[in-house]
Amino acid sequence: MITIDASAKEKIQSMLTAEDKGDSALRIRITGRSSTGYQHKLSLVEPGFEKPEDIESKADGVRILVDPKTATQIEGATIEFVDDLYGGGFKVNNPNQPAWSNDLEKQVQDLIDQQINPSLASHGGFLELHEVREGKAFVHFGGGCQGCGMADVTLKQGVAKLIKDTLPEITDVIDSTDHAQGENPYYKAPAAAH
């Protein structure tokens, strides 16, 4: 069961009302994992755009859709809305911790967390590991890296080289990102104050 706290419920209902989408559902899915937990994505789904395999439930009057492949990994999560200096956003508190199917996946994730993501963060981007299968690491770029014209160069000359040099068991690094969905792919420095 997923819980929506009062702050998130109020924000979701406000969004649905403002966009005249009162019958829409909230989709929650796991987009990646790190050494500290899962990364999540929330989106609104209009009636008729649900997937046949979706698991649907209700929490405090809000329809929730979950992918059956990750339903057990989201079980018990709480969604809240947190106000902060940057305008706030939804936060998913998930009690479940990622389980790696093998030690090599954990080693790749540690490399991403310690060396790759700190570098990508300077451009507003990040890298997520989906899995390691048959010596291939399947990764996903997000943030400023999604849709970036330089993502292929970053992958081949930076990410893949570092992973394969550090972990010779990895023979290939495959980008599974849909770069066409990137909305703001290039880092923009803040405007100087006058």
Domain residue spans of the chain = 3-93, 103-181
Choose among 175, 185, 163, 40: nearest CA to 112. Answer: 163
**In sequence order, which residues have a C-beta less than 8 Å from that of residue 158 and are 6 or more positions away?**
116, 119
pTM reported for the whole predicted model: 0.59
Measured distance between the N- and C-terminal CA atoms of the chain, rounded to whole angstroms: 51
What architecture (CATH level 2) is domain 3-93?
Sandwich (2.60)
Contact yes or no for 186/144 (Cβ under 8 A) = yes
What's the token pair of residue 154? Answer: 């970053």
Tokens for 177? 């990102």
Which segments within the chain are labelled E, that is strand?
Answer: 3-4, 25-34, 37-45, 55-59, 62-66, 78-82, 89-93, 125-133, 136-143, 172-175
Q: What is the pLDDT along the chain (194 residues), one digit of tens a residue?
A: 888 988 888 888 888 888 777 788 889 988 777 667 888 888 888 888 999 999 998 887 888 999 888 888 899 999 998 887 666 788 899 999 877 778 898 899 888 888 888 887 777 778 888 788 899 988 877 765 655 555 555 666 688 888 999 999 999 988 876 545 444 443 333 444 44
- Architecture of the domain whose range is 103-181: 2-Layer Sandwich (3.30)
Q: Rounded to an integer, what distance in angstroms lies between the CA atom of residue 51 and that of residue 73?
A: 19
Residues forming beta bridges with residue 44, ordered by sequence position: 26
